[in-house]
Each structure stands twice: as structure tokens, then as C-alpha cells.
Amino acid sequence: MSSPKVVKEEIVERNTRFLAVFVETKNACLILLSESEDYLGTLAIAVPPPKGLGEIAAAPATSSILLGDRNIITARMFAEHVATNTNKIALVSVYLRTINEAEARPILLKLIEKIIKNRQSPPSSQPEKEGVSA
């Protein structure tokens, strides 16, 4: 049995740290996006679109909000994006303290793309700074 893949990333834009924690299992991904500190925020879930059904396969991912109400548009949009790009169930949490949702979207999308790229690259020979024990 393989253990889940965990990736942490951060970027600094507008003098603010934006953080992401990514956990991937065989059938699902969890991404926690937050401003300044790791927090659980508005949580959305998305299921990837069905495959092999002809034109129906072009349908978007199906999503819903599980928790919160502040950043529902961004959380659902990113959950659908991750579900479609990974073909896995996606849970995405968005926590914003000072920056508004519309301003944060391009920054958080950049962070998501960085995580998706890093999850596909081969593991480095350097030891992890923050390990996860089973």
C-alpha cells in the first residue's frame, strides 16, 4: 500500500504569503489554500466529469460546498479545475483573511498550477524538511 503524496508550496505576492497544502491519494486530492497561515476555509468538493459517454464527457465537473460561505465561488471553481485536471475527486479549501476573492483568484491559481506541476515531477534526492510519518 502506498502512502499519500503530500506537497507544501507557498508564494509571496502583494507582500502577502499564500500557502497551499496538497494531499493526494489514489482516488482523491485535497488542497488547502490560505493567506498568511494554514487554515481550513470554505470547503468545496468536485467529482470529475464522466468519461466514455460521447458528448456528455465534455460536461464540467460536478461540485458542491461542504463548509463555509465566504469564498464559495473560488472554492467551487478550483475544486472543479483540480477534479478535471487530475481525474480524481477534489476537495479544495479557500481561506482569505484580507485580500478579496476576485483579487486572490489568479494568485491561488498560480499556486495550484505550481502544486500540480510538482506532484508530477520525479521526487528529488534531497530529504524533506517536514516529513510525514505513517
Question: pLDDT digits over 55-71, tens only?
Answer: 555 678 899 999 999 99
Compute the distance between CA of residue 48 and CA of residue 57 in angstroms, rounded to an integer: 10
Q: At 128, is the pLDDT very low, low, confident or very high (cuts 50, 70, 90)?
A: very low
Residue 4: the pLDDT is: 85
Residue 15: how many CB atoms within 10 A of its CB?
Answer: 5
Decide: residue 11, CB within 10 A, 0-12 exposed, 13-18 middle, 19+ buried. middle
Residue 58: the pLDDT is: 67
The residues facing 17 across adjacent strands are: 12
pLDDT greater than 60 at residue 130: no
The Cα diameter of the chain in Å comes to 47
> H or E element: which one contains 110?
helix 101-120
pLDDT in tens, 70-115: 999 999 999 999 999 999 999 999 999 999 999 999 999 999 999 9
Q: Which residue has the higher pLDDT, 57 or 27?
A: 27
Q: What CATH number labels 5-120?
A: 3.30.230.100
pTM of the model: 0.82
